[in-house]
Amino acid sequence: MPEGKATTRGKALWARLLRSWALWLFLLALSLVRVVEVEKGGQRTYLVLFPWEEARVEFVNSVTGKPVLLEFRPFFRFQDFRAYTDPETEAYYTGGVYPWNQALAQERKRELAYCSELGLALGLGGRWFRAQEGCLRLRLLFPP
Confidence at 55, pLDDT banded by 50, 70, 90: very high
Share of the chain above pLDDT 90, in %: 65
Please give the pLDDT value at position 143.
87
Burial class (CB in 10 A: 0-12, 13-18, 19+), 7: exposed
Give the separation between CA 54 and CA 126, rounded to whole angstroms. 9
What pLDDT does residue 21 have?
65
Q: Is there a contact between 70 and 81 (Cβ–Cβ < 8 Å)?
A: yes
Closest CA to 112 of 56, 30, 49: 56
Which of 14-23, 28-37, 48-57, 101-110 is predicted with the least confidence, judged by mean pLDDT? 14-23
Q: How confident is the model at residue 30 (pLDDT cuts 50, 70, 90)?
A: low
According to the model, what pLDDT value does residue 83 have?
97
Q: Stretch 33-55: mean pLDDT, rounded?
A: 93
Q: Quick one: pLDDT at residue 31? A: 72
**Band of pLDDT at residue 77, cut at 50, 70 and 90:** very high
Enumerate the H helices of 32-86 as residue ranges.
none
Q: Measured on CA atoms in the order 50, 54, 59, 63, is the torsion positive or negative?
A: positive
Report pLDDT digits (tens) over 113-133.
999 888 999 999 899 999 998
Specify the pLDDT at position 138.
Answer: 96
